[in-house]
């Protein structure tokens, strides 16, 4: 797969436009290179943004971080991307390590886009300081991990608007083909009908995922920082991976519709529970021989109790939705992270399954409601239009309806989705603005996750 084919030459003009916006506010910076500034890259997602080169972006990336294993791990991944035999990258990392790394970045500003993927406890404040300084921000999820962080995030979005910069989070799951096709079909009334309201017992939209603490990234076993297991730094599962799931609920159910978090969302119930990590598992995934002091409070009989699992039931404009995330330590051999989703329509249910029958690859199914003999003909006519957008996809009859058959070319993998998000972000930079619905829906998303956590931890309605 050639990622460069996914990234048209508009990236160059996008960054020129972005730099132009910056220089209108600070003409003394007009001669600085166009490029990325990576701040405190404690999560491997920071490296994945750089897995491929981008036309128009300087190969020089300025890194600002405290000295330690987090930045070392990030730099090691970049070196491996540069050294690989197939489509090697040519990044030149200029790294500043010091306790004043954030202040130094804000003082020097050698680029115009800040990339954030790391300790979530600090991320919201990094976002706020960057946009206050007139810098664009591309941030990994989550941008807020609690109700207090959500309030600061609101201020950050207001500051971004004031300073004419774009603040955006990395929603990779929108680019997974089964999610994209589910959304596409849900918005064809002849196929899906109308999205049902559902009930608390049978929600109209369900998104569930299972993730794993130990896995391989770019062919290497992952090494997670110890703080990943501290919910005050990483955030609980309910506000971390669920960010993607809540985003998909909004994105597929109410496409390009601005949501009002103060009016459109009601948290009905939420719960959280821990994943148990043994000392040997902790050593395997962190390469540390013992728990740091800040984790000891979360141990029970020498095992870590990490609240990485969560479930929330809520309504969005009256539509009942359920989101659930679960973390196990390691996937059984031959398997991996899994995803399940259902959208209930008046004419059909659209279901994504990713189990053994699907070889642990997400597969979308169309399962009609009732026995309308004309439905197949209607589906085939409507599907022909979808095929124009996604050439090569097809339908295969199943006992319950149809399976959407997707060619291998669309299965680019999770790591490649980071480049696709970056491409979309550059398009927005070129346009000089985000779509009108993106900011209110980011606010709605983080309100949902942080309020669900608040309800789960104190049992009070919000």
1-23 pLDDT tens trace: 444 434 433 333 333 333 333 33
Q: Please tell me the total number of residues recorded for the chain in this structure.
A: 462
Non-local (6+) Cβ contacts of 367 within 8 A are 348, 349, 350, 351, 400, 401
Which of 4-8, 91-95, 105-109, 189-193 bottoms out in mean pLDDT, i.e. has the lowest? 4-8
Of 239 and 216, more confident: 239
pLDDT of residue 34: 60
pLDDT of residue 445: 98
May I ask the CATH architecture of the domain 3-169? 3-Layer(aba) Sandwich (3.40)
For the chain, what percent of residues have pLDDT higher than 70?
Answer: 92
Mean pLDDT calculated for residue range 74-95: 96
pLDDT of residue 254: 98
Non-local (6+) Cβ contacts of 72 within 8 A are none
Mean pLDDT calculated for residue range 296-303: 89
- Indicate the pLDDT class of residue 459, thresholds 50, 70 and 90: low
pLDDT of residue 185: 98
May I ask the CATH architecture of the domain 174-415? 2-Layer Sandwich (3.30)
370-418 pLDDT tens trace: 888 899 999 999 999 999 999 999 999 999 999 999 999 999 988 899 9
Domain locations in the chain? 3-169, 174-415
pLDDT of residue 169: 98
Rounded to the nearest angstrom, the gap between the alpha carbon of residue 14 and the centroid of all alpha carbons in its chain is: 22
Cα angle vertex 173, ends 39, 167, to 5°? Answer: 40
């Amino acid at each position: 797969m050639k990622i460069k084919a996914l990234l048209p030459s508009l990236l160059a003009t996008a960054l020129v436009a972005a730099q132009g916006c910056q220089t209108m506010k600070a003409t003394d910076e007009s001669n600085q290179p166009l490029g990325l500034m990576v701040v405190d890259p404690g999560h491997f997602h920071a490296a994945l943004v750089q897995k491929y080169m981008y036309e128009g972006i300087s190969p020089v990336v300025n890194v600002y971080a405290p000295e330690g294993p987090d930045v070392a791990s990030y730099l090691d991944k970049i070196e491996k991307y540069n050294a690989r035999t197939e489509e090697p990258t040519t990044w030149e990392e200029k790294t500043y390590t010091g306790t004043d790394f954030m202040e130094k970045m804000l003082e020097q500003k050698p680029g115009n886009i800040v990339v954030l993927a790391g300790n979530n406890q600090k991320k919201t404040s990094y976002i706020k300081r960057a946009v206050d300084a007139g810098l664009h921000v591309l941030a990994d999820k989550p941008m807020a991990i609690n109700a207090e962080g959500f309030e600061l995030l609101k201020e950050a979005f207001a500051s971004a608007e004031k300073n004419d910069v774009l603040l955006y989070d990395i929603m990779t799951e929108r680019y997974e083909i089964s999610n994209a096709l589910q959304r596409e079909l849900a918005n064809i009334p002849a196929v899906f009908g109308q999205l049902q309201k559902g009930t608390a017992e049978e929600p109209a939209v369900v998104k569930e995922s299972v993730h794993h603490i130990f896995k391989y990234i770019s062919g290497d076993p992952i090494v997670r920082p110890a703080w990943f297991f501290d919910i005050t730094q990483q955030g609980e599962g309910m506000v971390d991976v669920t960010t993607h799931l809540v985003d998909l609920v909004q994105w597929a159910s109410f496409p390009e519709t601005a949501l009002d978090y103060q009016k459109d969302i009601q948290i009905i119930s939420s719960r959280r529970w821990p994943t148990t990590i043994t000392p040997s598992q902790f050593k395997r995934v962190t390469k540390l021989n013992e728990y740091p002091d800040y984790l000891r409070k979360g141990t029970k009989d020498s095992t870590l109790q990490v609240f990485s699992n969560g479930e929330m039931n809520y309504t969005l404009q009256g539509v009942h939705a359920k989101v659930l995330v679960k973390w196990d330590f390691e996937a059984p051999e031959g398997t991996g992270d899994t995803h399940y989703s259902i959208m209930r329509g008046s004419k059909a249910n659209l279901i994504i399954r990713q189990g053994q029958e699907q070889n642990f690859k997400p597969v979308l199914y169309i399962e009609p409601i009732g026995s309308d003999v004309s439905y197949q003909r209607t589906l085939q006519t409507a599907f022909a239009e979808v095929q124009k957008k996604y050439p090569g996809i097809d339908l295969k009859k199943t006992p319950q309806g149809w399976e959407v058959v997707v060619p291998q070319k669309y299965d680019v993998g999770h790591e490649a989705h980071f480049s696709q998000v970056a491409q979309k972000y550059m398009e927005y930079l070129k346009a000089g603005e985000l779509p009108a619905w993106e900011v209110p829906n980011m606010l709605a998303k983080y309100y949902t996750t942080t309020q669900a956590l608040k309800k789960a931890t104190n049992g009070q309605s919000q």
